Amino acid sequence: MTSSPLHRLSALGQSVWIDALSRDSIHGGQLAALIDHDAVVGATSNPSIFQKAFAEGDAYDQQLRELGDATDVNAAFWALATRDIQDACDLLRPVWDGGGGRDGYVSLEVDPGLAYDTLATAQQARRIHDDVDRPNLMVKIPATKPGLAAIEDSTAAGISINVTLIFSLRRYEEVVESYLRGLERLVAEGGDPAGIASVASFFVSRIDTEADRRLDEIGGPERLKGRLAIANARLAYQHYKRAFTGERWEYLTNKGATPQRVLWASTSVKNPAYRDTMYVEELAGPDTVDTMPLETVRAFQDHGRPTPRLELELDGARRVIDELEAAGVSYDEVTDTLEREGVEKFATAFDELLEGLREKREATAGA
């Protein structure tokens, strides 16, 4: 078992998290099997994941009936989601305990409709933290400009944060700075940073999808397709290594703080012409996290090649961005578009989730 591709990937220092969660997977043994057999040591959720979970089967029907019509549909969602996250946290708690809080986390996202409201995001992050009440919870906050202050405030309040929807290197640098300032405030106020952790989630495959689309529009060179996402991630990792060294970081680490690891999200390929394990293989390296959908877990276990490639071709990574710019594909336009569309997609998914939940509750009441 320990010789499986995902176990060998873990041995390189990369933690495997699953980008899927449902009540059936938690109580039906699927998540436990992933932990036991596939080296999975964490889980994440988002509105799209919950939308799919609620739509399938009857696992949520009994709790919906218990909540009754007096509970508005938004509150009903948070009640359902909170129970799932609590149960998943409990299932992963031995991982968290055994690894000293390095892994074993489960993430729950704030309402994406709050992505441009700093105060509301920070307030909801605190409510989620208090309601779930598990030490291995991470609250997901989008890396919008207003989200940065909420990330800092939440970190200063002792809340573990999964910073989501990161696309650009500039924004990533701001995310790291928000984490560091939050830790410094926490320490200054007498708090213990040893009890919290954070990850910075870079969305990978969407970058190539958008860059490739723009190359097609202008008839750009084929050799530049499928290269920006990996180049971007490799440059981000170099910033991670620089940010978490030096006198400023040494002070925090002496107080018990842990680095905000880079997490590779959206690592399933969107273009069928690309190898289905391409992003996992090319971004394998130490002190990182890869959150994979179930199909990518299965593909990598079947034919993944776990070798440390994250720090290869670093000079070429910067050159890829320059060559795309020269070809007419703006890096800033790609990443700005993806951030805006990412927030919109999650907000739409959340609205659709609530509407589906409303319909399900009506059907459950009439059953």
| Active-site amino acid positions | 140
What CA–CA distance (Å, rounded) separates 263 from 288? 6
Q: How far apart are the first and last CA of the chain?
A: 45
What CA–CA distance (Å, rounded) separates 207 from 227? 9
Beta strand 40-43 with 261-265 is: unpaired
What CA–CA distance (Å, rounded) separates 270 from 241? 29
What CA–CA distance (Å, rounded) separates 135 from 142? 21
Contacts of 314 (CB under 8 A, 6+ apart): 234, 235, 238
Tell me the one-letter amino acid at 142: P
Beta strand 14-18 with 288-292 is: parallel
Query: How many other CB atoms sit within 10 Å of the CB of residue 1?
Result: 8
Tell me the one-letter amino acid at 352: E
